[in-house]
Structure 1
Amino acid sequence: MGRISISCLFPASWHFSLPSQILPRLLLPSFRQLLFLGLLLFLLGALYLFLVTGKLPGGWITKENNFHRHLARVTDVDTTDESNPDLNYGLVVDCGSSGSRVYVYCWPSHNGNPHELLDIRQMRDQNRKSVIMKIKPGISNLAQTPEKASDYIYPLLSFAAKHIPKHKHIETPLYILCTAGMRILPESQQEAILEDLRTDIPVHFNFLFSDSHVEVISGKQEGVYAWIGINFVLGKFDHARNDGEAVVEVNVPGSDQQERLVRKRTAGVLDMGGVSTQIAFEVPKTEEVAKNLLAEFNLGCDAHRTDHVYRVYVSTFLGFGGNAARQTYEQSLIKSTTSRNKLFGQRFGETADSPLLDPCLPTDLQDQIGTPEQKLHVLGTGDFDQCRHVLQPFLNRTNETQTSLSGIFQPAIDYSNSQFYGFSEFYYCTEDVLRMGGDYNASKYAQAAKSYCATQWKTLRERFDSGLYASHADLHRLQYQCFKSAWMYEVLHSGFSFPPDYKNLKTVFLVYDKEVQWTLGAILFRTRFLPLRDIQQESLKGVHSHWRHSFSFVNNLYLLLVCFFIVVLSIILYVLRLRRIHRRSAQRCSPSSVPWLEEGLGSPTLPINL
């Protein structure tokens, strides 16, 4: 093998030579080496972007990435970054019967995909607390002084205005929605209160607010909003399915071609408050339901797309809440006992020495029911099964099939492929005292409730004083737990006809560590067209907008490709430069060696002399 002397490139004291076929390999890497180096740089860059931004190049989103991205949304409890210019805000004021509460929501700019909904979440302050404020009493107390309505609501809006960047106020939608307390007022009084709000709020605040943004919503609307809110937080509207996840096949309402979609199974909602009870769940198009019990709506931003078209059965039952049911039950006891005493000349319940026996109160609990003018003394016998039996007539069931409370129609439920979440009393009855919240098991629940009812009141008080029950459980809960346990059981199994072996009901207060309110569903529904507006505005900006929109999806990929080619080109140019330098040096050192190098001829092996 020939050798080449390169002593001319180094100080004169250095003299050594290399085999003639080694130097070109050192100066000019092979194509495979260049390709390997480029791919290595590409992969390292992709890994860096994934670790730093959480995204793969070009916005690639696999099933797993989408799943983790969704988890990040629903569990997001970090402080809201008010300095983020791409963050949008919205306000919902819930004007209830006992008070009013403002909720501040926020969401990032829509990603441009018309198949996805806005990523709405509650705004959180520096302490990571939800930005919420509540005042009392309810706005319905202003029935005689409607001109004070705007003064009443002013503290809530001032509180919200301080948390939202001032330059964002003009584009922040404000909704003031009134519920049960306002519904019971005469229409003239309702309108007087609403008109004062419509007139004065724009004078003091610069929020995005119009006449249609303040109204008294129906029980049906409230039920639909609650259904939307829980399913949104659960991720049921994200149709990217994961392996093993429950799905349903649905007929899209309004589709002339009987379009069928397979998507995530949505969850039904059961809610029992103090006054009313509510049920809501999705039903197929093949199920005929009266219009007053049905809500058909499109949550998507494009009315022509059917991805988010839903058909929900929702029914509200006034007087079937836990407290209202107890009041109705007591009134019935007073009426029947008073009539019987007069008819037979008896004095049951008139004194503590001759109390009326009540199976729905814990054993030996003494109580008084009725008004001072018509009062009865009762004594609990703690018989859960007997309590259930005496409560059944209060459900107002009929013998007709597919009916529920008060004979109201209820579509058939596919119990083998359904899931329900129970809120308010469904949770309190199972958790506060019995400590069984979460997955509902009818037989275990009934056994625990039966044991509680049969326990002596004295023992229950001792347990309460020892702190064995939930921290927010009070004496009122302790007294009426037996009654409410039986009432909840009967409403669920006799009223709504859930089978005793139903396994897919969860009783909850928080979902992903967050209290889910119907106001979330309200703002999601009422802002559903905002993404379409943004998409249309972007498309009207022309080529520049198209480039910017495209760049938002593939910028990482383009950036990496450009870097890759720049690196490869730089390496090639650098190697070519070294080669030219070598040729010039070789010519100065040994002109006759140039042909020898180009022809690749061998040379005798020579030692390297240092």
Structure 2
Amino acid sequence: MRFPKLAFIFMFVGCLVVYLTYVKRHYDDSKLSVPEQLPQYRTDTRKHPTSGQVVSESFQYGIMFDAGSTGTRIHIFKFQMEPNEAPKLAHETFRAIKPGLSAYADEPEKSKEGILELLNVAKDTVPEVLWSSTPLMLRATAGLRLLPGEKATILLDKVREVFSESLFLYKPDSVSIMDGTDEGMSAWITINFLIGALHGTETPTVGMLDLGGGSTQITFALQDEITIQTSPIDYVTSFQMFNISHALYSHSYLGLGLMSARLAVLGGIEGQPSGPQELVSPCLAPDYSGQWEHAEVLYTVKGQKPGEPIYESCLRKVEKMIYKQVRKAEEVKNMDFYAFSYYYDRAVDLGLIDERTGGTVRVSDYIEGAKKVCNNMSAGGIKESPFLCLDLTYISVLLQELDFPPDKELKLARQINNAETSWALGAAFHCIESFRKHGTC
């Protein structure tokens, strides 16, 4: 049987249409399977300052919001990318506002204003052509960890609303509450990246201490097999960066940040605003009476009547509060440590370091500083800093409980090579790599 010529032509055209439709659909599906808007480098050209030759440099931006217990900060990182080399931090733009997100727990809509203010800083910093390929991230720390789950979720949803309209590269999982261990690990990455210890050089890594408002972290590279064997399993973590594996001891003590510890020493109870709101403590000057706000609760705080020396009475209170809450880590005696946040601030208050440049202190400096401040308070001094005796006593006890001896030196720095020494840089590294590999943060 012979097919009419016209019928053959129609059949051929029909098959061709079906084939092309299949190819197009297959091509579209393959495009959808690739993560959208992966971070892209921007290549700039410039003349070399000495040779005069035109050279090309590739850059990648990343934006990290740090939603802490006392404030929200934005870090805008500009990385210089080199083939087969670790990225270099070319520049960081930093801004901070107060209060922290947790202060808006009962009025979450008001949290948007501060987020928008900081986003405008990012828009002024990142070239507009790169907005859609610049990852935008927020990590919340102890302030939101301490809130009831529903309140924290609502606040994060408000942030997601603002971020989704920002035109930066954003995914819903880019906004989250950071696990305490991740916070410590990210800060460790930051400090060791900035000193050049993660670039395959012979520079030894350093340990990291961070004292925030709601939690405190300790992280260091494990060197002793005994520490690995005797530490709880959730204190030991490992990761790979720049093709090098690192095994870390890292733990976050929630509720032992300076503000939470201050409340506990004063006799208050975290997360219970209906509890006692008049607090009397031997860590305050005997004639002191004032108000202190913490976690949206306004407390009346007073000193006890004169009796035993303030330092000794306060020391006993602090030791009782922290008893068996902290694990000793033998290895800390034998490696260099950097300390951040309130460790830095209280050293400035004592005049031990310059506020701008930082410096080095010994654990014994905090101990002796606590004794001096407390004794001056009993003599009627230091009224402008009513909590300094308590804070310094707590810091000195905390360090010793972590097994730092009195003669141990700590390096204090807010910046290294003009970059902030917080966990934000390390967390941004992780998110950018995750975006590149998986399309999520």
CA shift at 1:207, angstroms?
1.7
Report Cα offsets for 1:534-567 as digits up to 9, x if no partner.
xxxxxxxxxxxxxxxxxxxxxxxxxxxxxxxxxx
Q: Secondary structure at the match of 1:520?
A: helix
- Structure 1 residue aligned with 2:390: 483
Match of 1:391 among 303, 314, 318: 318
Query: Counterpart of 1:440?
Result: 361
Q: Which runs of 5+ in 2 are unaligned?
A: 1-46, 269-277, 292-297
The answer for the alignment partner of 2:89 in structure 1 is 120
Question: Residues 157 and 380 from structure 1, CA distance in 2 versus in 1: closer, same or farther, beyond 3 angstroms?
Answer: farther
Q: State the distance in 2 between where 1:192 and 1:373 align.
A: 30
* TM-score for the superposition, normalised by structure 1: 0.52
Q: How much does 1:420 deviate?
A: 0.7
Shift of 1:154: 3.1
Superposed CA RMSD in Å reads: 3.9
CA contact (8 A) 2:370 2:389 kept: yes
Aligned match of 1:413 in 331, 336, 361?
Answer: 331
Instruction: Read off the aligned partner of 2:262 and give its amino acid letter.
Output: R
The runs of 5 or more residues in structure 1 that have no matched partner are: 1-48, 60-83, 124-130, 242-263, 333-349, 351-355, 398-405, 462-473, 534-610
Q: Is residue 264 of structure 2 the alignment partner of residue 325 of structure 1?
A: no
Counterpart position of 1:219: 180
1:103, CA displacement in angstroms? 1.7
Per-residue deviation at 1:509? Answer: 3.3
Change in 2 beyond 3 A, CA 1:190/1:414: closer
Q: Name the structure where helix makes up a greater proportion of residues.
A: 1
* SS across alignment from 1:413: helix
What TM-score, normalized by structure 2, do the two folds share?
Answer: 0.70
Q: CA deviation at 1:282?
A: 1.4
Is 1:165 aligned to residue 72 of structure 2?
no
Picking from 250, 259, 267, the partner of 1:314 is 250
Question: Of 491, 502, 526, which aligns to 2:431?
Answer: 526
The alpha-carbon distance between structure 1 residues 235 and 294, as it changes in their structure 2 partners (threshold 3 A), is same
The residue aligned with 1:111 is 82
Task: Kindly provide the amino acid, as one letter, of the partner of residue 112 in structure 1.
Answer: P
- Please give the per-residue CA displacement for 1:254-294, whole angstroms capped at 9, x wherever unaligned: xxxxxxxxxx3211111223332221111148313434223
Asked if structure 2 preserves the Cα contact closer than 8 Å seen for 1:361 and 1:382, the reply is no
Structure 2 CA distance for aligned equivalents of residues 390 and 274 of structure 1? 19
SS at 2:88 equivalent: coil
Change (3 A) 1:228 1:220: same
The answer to whether the aligner puts 1:274 opposite 2:213 as a matched pair is: yes
Aligned residue identity for 2:204: R
Larger RCO (CA under 8 A, 6+ residues apart):
1
Q: Which has the higher strand share?
A: 2
Give 1:389 shift.
4.0
- Mapped partners of 2:233, 2:338: distance in 1: 24
1:56-135 pair list within 5 angstroms: 86-108=58-80, 110-113=81-84, 116-123=85-92, 131-135=93-97
Asked if 1:496 corresponds to 2:402, the answer is yes
Overall identity of the aligned pairs, in %: 27
Q: Is the 8 A contact 1:281 1:312 kept in 2?
A: yes
Superposition map of 1:463-474 within 5 A: none
Return closer, same or farther for 1:444/1:184 CA change in 2, 3 Å cut-off: closer
Question: Amino acid of the residue matched to residue 157 of structure 1?
Answer: L
Q: For 2:222, which of 279, 283, 301 is the aligned residue?
A: 283
Partner of 1:292: 234
Query: 1:278/1:154 Cα in 2 relative to 1: closer, same or farther (>3 Å)?
Result: same
| 1:132-169: CA deviation from partner (whole Å, max 9, x where unpaired) | 34444443455566677666633332331122111111
CA distance in 2, matches of 1:456, 1:201: 48
